[in-house]
A and B are shown apart, each in its own frame.
Chain A
Amino acid sequence: MKPPSFEYHLPGGVEEAVGLLAELGEDAKPIAGGQSLVPMLALRLAAPEHLVDLRRLDGLRGVEERDGTVRIGAGTTQAAVQRSAEVARSVPLMARATPLIGHFQIRNRGTVGGSLAHADAAAEYPAVALALDARLEAVSPRGARTIPAGAFFTGLWSTALAEDELLTAVDFPVRRGRSGFAIEEFARRGGDFAIAGAAVAVELDGAGLVRRCGIGLFGLGSTPLRAPAAEAAATGSALTGIDASELGRTALAELDSVPADLHASADHRAHVGAAIVARAWRRAAEEAAHG
């Protein structure tokens, strides 16, 4: 199980990297931690002619809090996110999602940007980005742009990134006020891709009503998903007036094509998914109510 041949490129900066991507076109793939890409190469499910290694792009690594936003560089490893006190304090949902990704050896290599750009529908970070309305910064030879998470995941393993565009950072809003966050997933074994998962962010207003509710679902569609009807049902209500199980059923009722594979049928995913949304909601609401 050996990867096919490729030409290796090691740009020293973002500009050079996107220049290479522009020049090489669809035959090139950027590689960061490689924890998703290399297995695909080993299985020969992908055979790019060029790999553009991002490891020298030091500017893409790090966590920085500024003006109510936490910016996580795309090249920041999941292990670094797990260790970051800023992330734990200001973006607790990211902090809680991270230990669920693979195993610690994977998190030592895997990056935030890699996980988002790979856009696996069953992965944790994309759902977190959706639940928190994260904003993704991308750079191409044409310059930089910001893509809202809601517009980033466009299809199965595909994103709004152009061929010559590189994800450079993700901005998350700093938690504020009375808020609560939870991520729940159900997988066959710890570290496996989830059969169903949900990331919930809830924020209360001064009167204790839900000001904002973000629900990101994973493992339940061909892309990571929001649950707008469930979010709308929660928004404006008092926590005591929201039935978690009902919310879970609402979230799942919105989905039109829940995937099926060896590990779970669509029906089972939907059944478990509703329960998982409810569990995540309960924990997030509990935190928002009691801190």
Chain B
Amino acid sequence: MTGVTTAAARYAGTRVPRVEDARLLTGHGTFVDDVVRPGMLHACFVRSPLARARILGVDAAEALAVDGVQAVFTAADLNPDVREQWYTLIGKDVPDTPRPPLAEGEVRFAGDPVAMVVATDRYVAEDAAELVAVDYEPLPPVVDYATAGESGELVHAGYPGNVAGEFPGAPFEEVEPVFAEAPVVVRHTIRQQACGQVPIETRGMIAEWSAPTGELTIWAATQSPHEVRLFCSRLLGLPEQRVRVVMRDTGGGFGQKVIPQREDMCVMLAARKVPGPLKWIEDRRENLQSAGMSRHAHGDVRIALGDDGAILAAALDYVEDVGAYPAPWPVGTSAAVGMFFPGPYRVPKAAWATTSVFSNTCGRTAYRGPWQFESLARELLLDAAAREMGLDPAELRRRNLLRRDELPYTNPCGIPYDGISPLKTFEQALEMLGYEAFRREQERARAEGRYLGVGTCTYVEPTSAAVGLHATEGATIRIEPSGKVNVYVSGGSSGNSIETTVVQLTADALGVDIADVNTVQGDTAVTPFGGGAAGSRSGSMTAGAVAETATVLRDRIAAIAAHRLEASPGDIELDGGRARVRGVPEAGVSLAEIASAAYFQPESLPPGVPAGLEASGRYRPEHPLIYANATHLCTCEVDVVTGAVTLLRYIVSEDCGPMINPNVVEGQIAGGVVQGIGNALCEHLAYDAEGNPVATTFMDYLLPTAAGIPDIEYGHIETPSPGPGGYKGVGEGGAIGAPPAVANAVADALAPFGAEITRLPLTPETVVALARAADGR
């Protein structure tokens, strides 16, 4: 690496308008359902209406007789074609849980795909799906994961006690003496309900098989086109270069679209058996019953404190529902719940264990901050401890939050925090609120019979985890012969503005105008391999990839320019689309001239400089994780008669390092926060006692609307990470901080009633019950 630099960054750190917007605002985006292929056929799944039953037979005769129906596939048709089935994301060598494309022998949740109807249009496919007669022998379902261990029934044979896996973590014995002797011990069982990711675009895929060339082309709603390609090539036994995956616009993912699921497998497997391209667009009911459950868990959580409020130890025994068919294997991921449970606090000792339990419900899938139970449990417990000790919860936290001068700090679970600022974000959030003034207002309101509350959550979050699928990220930059720039990265944007980010970073890295940079993403045929949009990694990893690649080109540009300008390459700087001699601004040569020379007059290049202006680079982080942190603070008023919770103010003070684009950062925070508010107050992917899903429409699965949420206020603290540009991930945190902040605010409002909140969601009914129980009404 040489010292060739660009002038000061013009775009990073600014609110650059998004390059994605022009097409999306005018209805010219390309989402998977917008793709139409000649002769395209449409799939519809026949799904189990029962939580658990033996499949005695499937009779498709009547469905096949419907005009326009091409095929009806069952497990016997598709499942035997599976060659290898595993996710690059998790790796091959884990004790993965079962995942058949179509249900084989037994259905294991209401919504389990049993057969796939292929017809000339979706209307006809749905008609025919109603006519597929499946003979079920009902079996007793295991609906409640929390009691699944005692159930005599098994979701999957071979998993005694319905345990999908356990992660032993750090042994409880080691903390028992601390708990035994601590002046204060607070212990609760905290429960979180099942929620869905609920992107407004459902899942979908088109698979087009070309028998003559042996090529399969897939258009997918995905966060990771390269994972789809790798998975598909293994599934079908096709060479990777014979599979092409294309995505342009994906309508939200939030984890649901990080990996292909069972229905996607069916589309891939069926593609070679039907006479045309096969499209499957999931409908909303399918999405809510089958696309993935998350969050559903409980934990027996304890903290021990000294008389001065210092935390002495923390312990978490965590049990999560993984449904019938989790994807991917959930056990490894659950470890993060334990390892981050101590959070950004000074916790000398901790113990934890996790257990993943099957049930006859929708499978667990990744959702924005999949480990967020650690924050929910810890922050609820800290407020409970403050109430018990008669301390202000802010004061209790101040005494325990890590200070800058204590870093680096390795938490008791072995996580080496650095580059974080938890106490600073906490103080900033309190100051933005005017915490003391709020407490006075709260006092006055209580005197009038109005119940106000304030709650916070401070967390530290792992971002940009560089392992396996996500270990590296590549970029190819082509400065075209005209001097204009194309930058190719793997993509997988489902709303994270990664096109804009890449264009900003590339324009800065090459010192060119942003309008001269275009980015190509999401097509495995032309983009470098990359892990996609997941794990709050896109910003940091792509910044690394662009920097790595741009360095090569900058050096080349400098060499060519220096040769032409008779200067030393080390004196060349790039700015405004020109290479010039530092300190001699009038001596310069345009990028267009350099490109022209590089492509058309290779003989004019200095010795040893390759022709062309195109480079590929791959970023390999030195740090396996980058830590980000934030404090969320929320105030609310609770109507103790109806149970309505009105959020008054919502403040986020976060530290994601320098911001590449503050609009994007704040947009990610806001989106996560409102999902978290929904998780706290209204969303519930609920089942009845028989295992029937009861929230399968948007009339029952309640997403927050613009009418029910406050304006979000942002505070920024900037502690650079050790990664490229000092950037950190920011995609998931919003969804982590909001549920505890909201729950603590409600608990604070209800403190006069002696209420303790240990269970989400805080429906109006729950809130009224909390107030009434203590009130004796």
Q: Do chains A and B touch in the complex (CB under 8 A)?
A: yes
- Residues in chain A within 8 A of chain B (CB atoms): 1-5, 43-44, 186, 188-193, 195, 262-265, 268, 271-272, 275-276
| Shortest Cβ distance from A272 into B: residue | B642
14 contacts between A and B (CB under 8 A): A1-B126, A1-B285, A2-B123, A4-B127, A186-B642, A188-B702, A189-B682, A190-B705, A263-B763, A264-B764, A268-B765, A268-B768, A272-B643, A276-B642
A271 & B702 in contact (Cβ 8 Å cutoff): no
Whole-angstrom distance between the alpha carbons of A264 and B682 in the complex?
12
B684 within 8 A of A: yes
How many of chain B's residues have a CB under 8 angstroms from any CB in A? 31
Q: Is the CB of B122 closer than 8 A to any CB of chain A?
A: yes
* Residues of A close to B699: CB separation below 8 A: 192-193
List residues of chain A with CB within 8 A of the CB of B484. none
* Cβ-closest 7 pairs across A and B: A1-B283, A268-B765, A2-B123, A190-B707, A275-B641, A186-B642, A2-B126
Closest chain B residue, CB of each to CB of A190: B707
Restricting to B431-489, which residues have a CB under 8 Å from any CB of A?
A: none
Residue of B with least CB distance to A245? B641
Q: Are A189 and B702 within 8 A (Cβ)?
A: yes
8 Å CB interface, B621-680 against A: 641-644
Bound together, the chains give a CA A271 to CA B447 distance in angstroms of 24
CA–CA, A287 and B695, complex, Å: 40
Q: Is B135 an interface residue (CB 8 A)?
A: no
Q: Does B686 contact A (CB under 8 A)?
A: yes
Residues in A neighbouring B702, C-beta threshold 8 A? 188-189, 192
Contact across chains for B642 and A275 when beta carbons are under 8 A apart: yes
Q: How far is the CB of A283 from chain B (nearest CB, A)?
A: 15
Judged by a CB distance under 8 angstroms, whether B700 is at the interface is yes
Q: Once bound together, how far apart are the Cα atoms of A214 and B694, in whole Å?
A: 35
State whether the Cβ of B697 lies closer than 8 Å to any Cβ in chain A.
yes
Chain B, residue nearest A271 (CB) = B768
B window 702-756: CB within 8 A of A: 702, 704-705, 707-708
Residues of A within 8 Å of B285, CB to CB, are 1, 43
Specify the chain B residue showing the minimal Cβ separation from A264: B765
Nearest CB in chain A to that of B641: its residue: A275
- B686 / chain A contacts, CB cutoff of 8 Å: 262
In the complex, chain A residues whose CB is within 8 Å of the CB of B682: 188-189
Q: How far is the CA of A2 from the CA of B119 in the complex (A)?
A: 14
Instruction: A1-B285, A43-B285 given; name 19 further pairs at CB < 8 Å.
Output: A1-B283, A2-B122, A2-B123, A43-B697, A44-B126, A186-B644, A188-B702, A188-B763, A189-B704, A189-B707, A190-B705, A190-B707, A190-B708, A191-B707, A262-B684, A264-B764, A268-B765, A271-B772, A272-B642
Task: Name B694's contact: one of A188, A192, A262 (CB within 8 Å).
Answer: A262
Q: Does B130 contact A (CB under 8 A)?
A: yes
Within 8 A of A (CB), among B50-80: none
Chain A contacts for B772, CB-based, 8 A: 271
Q: Which residues of B contact A189 (CB under 8 A)?
A: 682, 702, 704-705, 707-708
Give A271 to B284 CA distance when docked, in angstroms. Answer: 33
- Measured CB to CB, the residues of B under 8 A from A are 122-123, 126-127, 130, 283-285, 641-644, 682, 684, 686, 694-695, 697, 699-700, 702, 704-705, 707-708, 763-765, 768-769, 772
> Which residues of chain B have C-beta atoms less than 8 A from A186's C-beta?
642, 644, 764
Contact across chains for A262 and B127 when beta carbons are under 8 A apart: no
Minimum C-beta distance from A80 to chain B (A): 23
Chain B interface, >50% SS class: loop
Chain B nearest CB, measured from A6 CB (Å):
12
- Chain B residues closer than 8 Å to A268, beta-carbon distance: 643, 764-765, 768-769
Q: How far is the CA of A44 from the CA of B705 in the complex (A)?
A: 27
Contact at B764–A262, with CB atoms within 8 Å? no
* B299: min CB distance to chain A, Å: 25
A2 vs B700: C-alpha distance when bound (angstroms):
19
A190 to B126, CA, bound (A): 33
Cβ of B700 to closest chain A Cβ, rounded Å: 6
CB distance from A178 to the nearest CB of B (A): 29
Within the complex, the shortest CB–CB distance from A211 to chain B, in Å, comes to: 30
Contact A44 B130 (CB under 8 A): yes
Assembled-state Cα–Cα distance A44/B699 (Å): 15
Closest to A103 in B: B705
Q: What is the CA–CA distance of A271 and B697 in the complex, to the nearest angstrom?
A: 27
Q: Complex: how many Å from CA A276 to CA B642?
A: 8
Q: Which residues of A contact B127 (CB under 8 A)?
A: 4-5
On chain B, the residues within 8 Å of A272 by CB distance are: 641-643, 764, 768
- Closest B residue by C-beta to A268: B765
A190 to B702, CA, bound (A): 11
In the bound complex, CA of A193 to CA of B763 (Å): 16
Name the distance in Å between A175's Cβ and chain B's nearest Cβ: 28
Chain A residue with minimal CB distance to B702? A188
- Interchain nearest-CB distance for A28 vs B (Å): 20
Whether the Cβ atoms of A188 and B764 lie closer than 8 Å is yes
Instruction: State in angstroms the CA–CA spacing of A2 and B764 once bound together.
Output: 34
Q: CA of A71 to CA of B575 in the docked complex: distance in angstroms?
A: 73
Which residues of chain A are within 8 angstroms of B764 by Cβ–Cβ distance? 186, 188, 195, 264, 268, 272
With CB as the reference atom, state the residue of chain B lying closest to A5. Answer: B127
Expressed in whole angstroms, the minimum distance between the Cβ of B265 and any Cβ of chain A is 22
Which A-chain residue is minimally distant from B682 (CB atoms)?
A: A188
Please state if B707 and A265 are interface contacts (CB–CB under 8 Å).
no
Smallest CB gap from B684: residue in A: A262
Cα–Cα, bound, A44→B130 (Å): 10
Q: What is the chain B residue whose CB lies nearest that of A186?
A: B642
A44 to B126, CA, bound (A): 10
Closest chain B CB from A177 CB (angstroms): 32
Taking CB atoms, residues of chain B closer than 8 Å to A192 are: 699, 702
> What is the bound-complex CA distance between A1 and B122, given in angstroms?
9
With contacts A1-B284, A2-B122, A271-B768 known, is A262 near B708, CB below 8 A? no
A276 neighbours in B (Cβ, 8 Å): 642
A19 to B700, CA, bound (A): 38
C-alpha gap A263/B700 in the complex (Å):
8
Query: Given B126, B644, B700, which contacts A262 in the complex, CB threshold below 8 Å?
Result: B700
The residue in chain A whose Cβ has the minimal distance to the Cβ of B130 is: A44
Q: How far is the CB of A122 from chain B (nearest CB, A)?
A: 11
Residues of B within 8 A of A1 (CB): 126, 283-285
- Chain B positions within 8 Å of A264 at CB level: 763-765
A224 to B741, CA, bound (A): 39
Decide if A265 touches B130 in the complex (CB within 8 Å): no
Please, how many angstroms separate the alpha-carbon atoms of A289 and B694 in the complex?
A: 46
A45 vs chain B, min Cβ distance (A): 10
Q: Which residue of A lies closest to B124 (CB)?
A: A2
Alpha-carbon distance between A188 and B686 when the two chains are bound, in angstroms: 16
| Partner of A191 from B700, B705, B769 at Cβ < 8 Å | B705
Q: How far is the CA of A270 from the CA of B400 in the complex (A)?
A: 45
What is the bound-complex CA distance between A43 and B700, given in angstroms?
13
**Chain B contacts for A195, CB-based, 8 A:** 764
Q: Chain A residues near B697 (CB, 8 Å)? A: 43
Residues on B with beta carbons closer than 8 Å to the beta carbon of A2: 122-123, 126
Q: Which residues of A contact B708 (CB under 8 A)?
A: 189-190
B361 shortest CB reach to chain A, Å: 15
CB distance from B111 to the nearest CB of A (A): 14
Bound Cα distance A161, B126 (Å): 32
Residues on B with beta carbons closer than 8 Å to the beta carbon of A4? 127
